[in-house]
Amino acid sequence: MGEYMDKINQYKKNAMIITFIILAIGVFMVYDASYIWSEFKYGDRFYYLKRQMIFALIGIILFFIGKKISLSFLKKHINLLLLISFLMLGMVLIPHVGLIRGGSSSWLGVGPISIQPSELFKISLILYFAKFLSTHYKDTMKIKSFILPIFLCIFGIFLIMLQPDFGTSMVILSAIIIMMFTSRLKIRYFVIAFFILLLFIGILIILAPYRAERITSFIDPFKDPLGSGFQMIQSLFSVSPGGFIGLGIDQSIQKYFYLPEPQTDFIFAIIVEEFGLLGGTIILVLYALLFYECFQIIRYSKDEFNAYFSLGILSLFLVQVLINLGVVVSILPVTGITLPLISYGGSSLCVLLFSLGLMLHKENS
Amino acid sequence: MIKKTMAKRILFLFIIVLIMLFTLEGKLIYSTLFLHQEILSLADDQHMRSFPLKAPRGLIYDRNLSVLAENSPCLSLYAIPYQVKDKEKTANLLANILNVKEDFILERLNQRSSMVHFSTYGMKLDYETSLKIEHLYLEGIYLVSDYQRIYPYKTYLAPLLGFVGSDNQGLAGLESKYENYLKGKKGYLNYYTDAKGGLFKEMESEIINPMEGISLSLTLDLGLQNILERELEYAYDTYEAEETSGIIIDPRNGEILAIANRPTYDNNEYQKYDPSIYNKLLPINNSFEPGSTFKAMTFAAAIEEKKIDMLSDTYYDKGYEVVSGTRISSWKKGGHGLQTFLEVLENSSNPGFVEIARRLGKDKLYEYVQKFGFLDKTGIDISGENKGLFFSYDKFNELEQATTAFGQGISVTAIQLVSAFSSLINGGILYRPHVVKALISPGLKEVIEEKKPEAIRRVVSKETSDKMRYALECVVSKGTGRKAYVEGYRVGGKTGTSQLAYDGNYVDGKYLLSFIAGAPMNDPRLVCYVSIKNAKHTVQYGGTTVGPIISRIIHDSLSYLNVPHQDGGVERIYTWMDQKVYPVENYIGKNKKEIKSSHFTFVFKGNGNKVIDQIPRVGTLLEENSCILIELGEQDELKSN
């Protein structure tokens, strides 16, 4: 057992180092990508950098707090945690209580401190599923046993959709599906689920036709270059001119107001524009390494609960990475999902670091 | 340790994630390396803004490189809206100077484009206006160098040259026809901007210099053009004509030496005229019934085909001929009686030409009409050429043949007529008329391409051509063309008078008076054609009204060209219609009593007995009974002079 312990602690140490490397690159790139807009909007080219540094600092603190928190403690109080999450998701929808940012009522808060209940819900739901899957592992052959968890999951997602926050909903749903995939549940359910998902997307498109435009524009962005294809084209105009080694540090042209808010969704485009295929590949490799370490951590987990929890957190993380990069290189339609650890954004960064901290907590039998 | 199924599925999951990462990497490689060039140029289009630098347009010269169209540097107003901070104030100031509504300027300044102009209000500003704007030092407002097209001869060459629009693009005439040569190539100042139109200070801008257009040298001779313009203007005013039209061509090669018409317009200020006048270069664009001028061609065909011997064959003109039941009369009541065919031409006898048509027959007549070029456009390098109108072969019956022989019932253009006439007297070759002589490079002013004369075909033999020179000279010396006679030069020509048709019907009392002539007939240097449409207050006969105009044009033109006087022409025969002309003798130094002449009258000025001066000088040709001014004085005064 001790040998396993050493191994898993080594993987966790590696994962932590890679996380901080990516985070450092992120902080620099937030500054590099944002200072033009920052100066234009706030008269201060360091506005986003300063905030991102504060977020990163808080995130790192939360990371180390997470490392100290015992998972069995959380496991015990999971129902309470889930209840609080649901209450907050409900509160956010009450007019004048939820804060509206970027068209969505996703925030709760007083003064400078504000949080996104959906972020808390993510972790609560994953804890809940981890507990459920690990305690009912034998019964997970049939979908029947999943009635309550699936109901809770869909209800939560439904509340998030009301904000509306399509991106976060998709990420949570994907993470839950991945967790269920690693149970004993028969594969055919996933095939069925896949078609249900298609139906779900279809309904969403009917409810809000602008999503259909996004999807068609991703196939041929030049059809509507100033409308739905605009962001795709601007992203391509960053990525392709980058070439093999890029235009050089700080030489991006697209960050000069061509890409809207280049420090968030399209930060990877700026990375490729300035550092080329080489820079882009390094980022991809770093993420791949991080995923690898995390998969190893899951394999060597001491019990199912730990494994499922880690897998849930990893799923949240990698789904966002894959979707964001997919959008930037024009494989996926524009979704509004940021690049974890690199994109500008306080709440999501802090929660991510905190959850990685939980996942990487030191194990001593 | 975790369960086996779970471990298996986790491994499977990891493989899927790896595949996805490889897909991303693959797309990244494709975008950065394979799409690189294509997207880079598209992205550059987005990032680069261009400031156009206007190219000076090619000039237009006459054959001696006198400038007919030139450029005058001026300034045009442009704005980069993003750089204009106070749009209201800027709009207000500019509106006051440019005399336009403030809203108009403001609307342009609010456009979401990288650069705007203010249409014609801001284009080609005069010096004073541009100075006023410059002194406002407005942010984002630029005065860009531009060129104003100047036509120094105004109304004189307008129908031929045409004009250019506000962007110096050719809109009419040669300016439009030769647009591709004249326009040059716009230059650009390319610079990188951010998405809001701001300049990238650190990015280098790139200048692509404008290229001046290629200049044209026309076959036109400004000296001859001025003569023709003067005479057409004179006829237009004097006879209150509907239209006058004229053309001078070099019969040796088809070069247009002068071409003009009235009414005309000033192409410097074309906006002030009704647009219907813009494309009226009558000798090219307009066709009409040629009348008797056409007889020259019929006559030549008959000589070439040996159907007549003009000196020995005779025709009795009883005053009319009947063709297919239609009576065709001679203009002279009772006819001209017995005449040689040369006299038929001299007298312009229609029944005589009916006989010539009969001798030629349908096929030959039709063949010559085609050979002389009346069935096709001449292919002159001027747009909008009219083709004229002729019978189809099937409908070319006896009556049509008869009227064609003396130029009625058909429609031709002046350019067809002068080209065909040229072939009669130049040795028998039909040349394609043209007006552009050479393309001249900007800067070095070297000839890039010279247009060579283009012989289309031989129409008649050298012998026939020589006979035609003599016959046509006789028309002017002895026949209906006597008014075109020029003392000292051998002129050959043919008159024309045709009734005008409006909406397809002949109108009584309205005529097209015309004259076509070549000179000097021993070695023709020019062919000149003039027509007057619906002249008033004058004899409705081409010979009488247009003859003197042709005479003046030929006299002045040949003098201008320094063509030496010729002797040995066909002896002039005077009729009661003509004034005889005599040379002035020298009277200076003579006594008052000696001053006598049977041809002239005298007016004396001053005191004394000796003639010290005379006007006009010795040798001047004066019409009979003209007046000569004699200045008298003492012997000494003469010496002191």
- On whether any CB of chain B is under 8 Å from the CB of A189, the answer is no
CB nearest B27 (choices: A300, A301, A331) = A331
For position B170, which CATH number holds? 3.90.1310.10
Q: Which domain holds residue B72?
A: 50-215
Residues of chain B positioned with their CB less than 8 A from the CB of A277: 28-29, 32-33
Question: Quick one: B546 and B629 in the same domain?
Answer: no
Residue B572 covered by a domain? no
Name the residue among A240, A254, A257 with its Cβ closest to that of B40. Answer: A240
Query: Is the pLDDT assigned to residue B454 strictly greater than 80?
Result: yes
Looking at the structure, tell me whether residues B633 and B499 fall in a common domain: no
Nearest CB to B32; choose among A182, A276, A301: A276
What digits encode the pLDDT tens for the residues B542-555?
888 899 999 999 99
Q: Which of B5, B15, B20, B24 to mutate to test the interface with A (most CBs of A within 10 A)?
A: B24
Structure confidence at residue B335 as a pLDDT band (50, 70, 90)? confident
> Is residue A161 a part of any domain in this protein?
yes
The tally of domains found in chain A comes to: 1
Residue B272 counted as domain residue: no
Residue type, A361: H
pLDDT tens, position by position, A15-71: 999 999 999 999 999 999 999 889 888 989 999 999 999 999 999 999 999 999 888
Neighbours of A298 (CB within 10 A): 27
B29 neighbourhood in chain A, CB within 8 Å: 277
Residue B569 domain-assigned (yes or no): no
pLDDT digits (tens, 9 = 90+) for B564-594: 887 766 666 655 445 566 777 888 888 887 8
Chain B residues lying within 8 Å of A318, measured CB to CB? 17
**What is the chain A residue with the closest CA to B10?**
A182
B35 contacts in A (CB within 8 Å)? 236, 240
Q: How confident is the model at residue B442 (pLDDT cuts 50, 70, 90)?
A: confident
Report the gap between the CA of B13 and the closest CA in chain A (Å). 8
In this structure, how many other beta carbons lie within 10 angstroms of the beta carbon of residue B92? Answer: 13
- The CATH number assigned to the domain holding B606 equals 3.30.10.20
B95 and B13 in a common domain: no
Whether residues A288 and B24 touch (CB distance < 8 A) is answered with no
Whether the predicted pLDDT of B640 surpasses 60: no
Taking alpha carbons only, the member of B493, B485, B502 closest to residue B526 is: B493
Contact A240 B17 (CB under 8 A): no
| Residue A365 covered by a domain | no
Q: Examine the domain organization and report whether B134 and B259 are in the same domain.
A: no
The mean pLDDT of chain B is: 87
For residues B246 and B201, membership in a common domain is answered with no
Is B566 part of any domain?
Answer: no
Option in B29, B38, B194 nearest A277 (CB): B29
Do B436 and B472 lie in one domain? The reply is yes
**pLDDT at A102 > cutoff 80:** no
pLDDT of A1 above 70: no
Smallest CA–CA distance, residue B24 to chain A, in Å, is 7
Residues 6+ apart with CB under 8 A from B422: B249, B251, B254, B430, B431, B518, B524, B527
B371 shares its domain with B509: yes
Cross-chain residue pair B13–A178, CB shorter than 8 Å: yes
Quick check: is B292 catalytic? yes
CB proximity list for A281: less than 8 A, separation 6 or greater: B25, B28
What confidence score (pLDDT) does residue A365 get? Answer: 47
Nearest CA in chain A to B196: A257
Is A316 inside any structural domain? yes
Per-residue pLDDT of A247-285, as tens digits, reads: 999 988 899 888 888 999 999 999 999 999 999 999 999
Long-range contacts of B91-97 (CB under 8 A, 24+ apart): B93/B136, B93/B138, B94/B118, B94/B133, B94/B138, B94/B141, B97/B129, B97/B132, B97/B133
Which residues on chain B are in Cβ contact (under 8 Å) with A295?
10, 13-14
- Among residues B130, B245, B287, B292, the one annotated as catalytic is B292
The answer to the question of residue B570 being in a domain is no
Angstrom distance (rounded) from CA B318 to CA B333: 9
Residues of B engaging A, defined by a Cβ cutoff of 8 Å: 1-3, 5-7, 9-10, 13-14, 17-18, 20-21, 23-25, 27-29, 31-33, 35-36, 38-40, 42-43, 46-47, 192, 194-196, 198, 200
Residues of B in contact with A331 (CB under 8 A): 23-24, 27
- Kindly state the average pLDDT of the residues B268-279: 90
The tally of domains found in chain B comes to 4
Same domain, B542 and B619: no
User: How far apart, in whole angstroms, are the C-alpha atoms of residue B445 and residue A124?
Assistant: 85
Q: What pLDDT sits at residue B241?
A: 92
> What does the pLDDT look like over B230-266, one tens digit per residue?
999 999 998 999 999 999 999 999 999 999 999 999 9
Strands (E), chain A: 99-101, 104-110, 113-115
Contact A241 B196 (CB under 8 A): no
Q: What is the pTM of this model?
A: 0.63
Query: Residue A352 domain-assigned?
Result: yes
Domain that holds residue A217: 2-359
A364 is a domain residue: no
Does pLDDT of A296 surpass 70? yes
pLDDT at A356 over 90: yes
**A253 contacts chain B (CB < 8 A):** yes
**B43 to chain A: which residues are within 8 Å by CB?**
237, 240-241, 253-254
Residue B275 falls inside a structural domain: no
Residue A178 maps to a domain: yes
Structure tokens that stand for B398 in this block: 């006896």
Same domain, B199 and B248: no
Confidence of residue B638 (pLDDT cuts 50, 70, 90): very low
Binary contact (B24, A322; C-beta < 8 A): yes
Residue B320 lies in a domain: yes
**Token pair listed for A365:** 């039998």
| Residue B26 located in a structural domain | yes
- Whether residues B14 and B137 share a domain: the answer is no
| Residue A78, CA distances (Å) to A120, A131, A156, A355, B526 in order | 12, 8, 15, 15, 112
Task: Specify whether B126 is located in the same domain as B257.
Answer: no
Do B152 and B241 belong together in one domain? no
Q: Report the CATH number that the domain containing residue B369 is assigned in CATH.
A: 3.40.710.10
Are B32 and A277 in contact (CB < 8 Å)? yes
pLDDT in the model for residue A197 = 78
